[in-house]
Structure 1
Amino acid sequence: MKLLRVGAAGAERPALLDPDGTTLRDLSGLVTDIDGALLADPSALERIASAAASGELPVLDTGVPGGTGGPRVGPPLGRIGKIVCIGLNYHDHAAETGAEIPTEPIIFFKAPDTVVGPEDTVLVPRGSVKTDWEVELAVVIGRTARYLDSVEEGLAHVGGYAISHDVSERAFQIERGGTWDKGKNCETFNPLGPWLVTADEVPDPQALSLRLWVNGELQQDGTTARQIFGVGELVRYVSQFMTLYPGDVINTGTPAGVALGKPEPKPFLRAGDVVELEIGGLGRQRQVLADA
C-alpha cells in the first residue's frame, strides 16, 4: 500500500493512493494518522487493505496529489520518534569524497522537526555557502527492534520505505568543528515522501534506483545495490546501540553525485534552485529553494 498524509502543515489527514496513481482515498474513518502506532498494528493495516480492496473507502475529491490544483502532500509519517542517519554508505559516494570505506556504519542524527513535505520549500540557512543535496532511501521501523541477531530479523522489523532528501550544509558539517549534526539539522533539511510504501511492496530494498536533478540536470544516478551496508544489516546494527521503535526512521545514505564531490567551483545550492528526486516505486519529490 501507498500511504500518505495530505493537507495543510500540521493538519494533514491520512490517505491511501489507489493503484492508478491518481485517486486518493480517505482513511480518516479508519485511522487517526499514518504513524508508528499504525505500522505496529497488523490488524489496522489489514482493515485498510480490506477496505481498499472492497472499494468502500471514500474518494478525497481534492485533485491529483502533488499536481496543479491538487492538495499539499505532507510527510507520509506523523509523530516521528527519531531519525538515525547513515553516512558514507555507498561505495561510489565514499570514493568521490576521498573517504575510506567504513568498516562499521557511521551514525548521526536528524531532529524530527527537520522533516517537511516532499514539495515544501527548502530554506538555505543564513550564512550558508555550501548547501548540498542527497537523495536517500528512508527505512521506517514497524516493530520494536533491540539487539537483533541477523539481517533477516532486521528486514522483518521494517514497516515501510520512503524517499528522504538529506539536505546538508557542508561548511557547517565539516568546517565548523564538533560533530556533523549542525550541518544536518537546519530547518526544512529533511523533505520526506510523497508516500510511505509498506514493506510488502518492496521485496528487495537492495534493488532500487535513485536519481536526483538540480535545475533539470541529472546529478545523482545510483542504486541501493551499491550500499556498503544493506537495509537489513543497518537495522540489525543500529539495534545494538539503541532501541528502534515503530515510527523511527533510518536514512540509509546517498550515492555519488553530490556537490561536495564535484570539481571546483562546486555547484552548491542557492535560493531559486529546483531539486527533483525519485526512487523507483517510491515516488518523486520536487523542492524550490529559498533564503531562510
Structure 2
Amino acid sequence: MLSADRLAVWGDPIDHSRSPSLHAAAYRELRLSWTYGRQRVTEAEFPARLSELDGTWRGLSLTMPLKNVACSAAVELDDAALRTGAVNTYLLTAEGPRGFNTDVGGLARALHEAGVGEPRAARILGAGATATSAVLSLAQLGTRRVEVVARRPEAVIPLRALGESVGVEISRASFDDPRMPSPVDVTIAALPGKVDVGPGIRPFAENGGLLVDVVYGNWPTALAEQWRVAGNEAINGLPMLLHQALLQVRIFVGGDPAVPLERENAVLAAMRIALVGD
C-alpha cells in the first residue's frame, strides 16, 4: 500500500460524477501526489476489470450499478456494508478488496450539519437501496420511528427487518393514502429526480419537516418545490455526497472511516469549495 497511489470512481453512467473534484481537492490539501480518475464500468464488466488492477491501485469509489456486485466480491465488509448489502468504497489490499458503505455515515453527518441532530420521527420516500442506507443513518442519530412511503408493500419487508436489527420501528404508507400523515422532523427522498409523485405528495410536504432529497442534479426537483410551497426547507444531496467522500478519504489514507484525518477541517473546507465550484 505504500506505493499505491491510484484511485478512481467506477460506475455506469459516470460522466456526471463529482467525486474526482472532491478527492483531488482533499489530496492537494493533504499534499499527497495521488491520482483519482473516473471510469465507466458496467456490472457485467466489473469482475474482469477488478481482476486487472495491479499493486499501484489503492482504492475505488463505486456508484450505481456496482454497489451490490462490489459487496459480493469483497473479502471483508464493514458493518454498514454488511447490513445494507451495498459497497461504495474499496480499499485494495493484498488479501483482496475491503468493502465499506460510507453513504450511511455521510447521510448521518449531512443531517447533523443541517440541524437535524436527533430526529424523533422520520419519513423515507421510496424503498430502494438508498432507503436501506437511510434507515441506518437515522438509527445512528437515535431515531426510533421511521415511516416508509412505498407503492409496493413487499418492498418494505426487508427494511422492516433491518429496522428491527437496529432498534428502529418501520411502518408503511402510500402516496395515495387518504389519511393525513403524522408530522415528522425530517423526510429523506430516495426517489429518482424526475419521478412524478402526483398530488398525493402535498400532505407529506406539509407534515414532512426538512426534506433531504438525495438527488443533486436538476435542482430544485419537483419534490423540493412542493416542500417550499408548503413552507418547509428542502436541501439536495450534495452535503451527503461531500461527507461520504470525506469518509472515503479517511479510508484511503488511514484504512478506517472512524479515524479523522490530520487537519481534517482544512480538508473538508477544500472539498466543500471544490463541490461548489464544480
Q: If the length of structure 1 is used for normalisation, what is the TM-score?
A: 0.23
Q: Which has the higher contact order (CA 8 A, sep 6+)?
A: 1
Higher strand share: 1
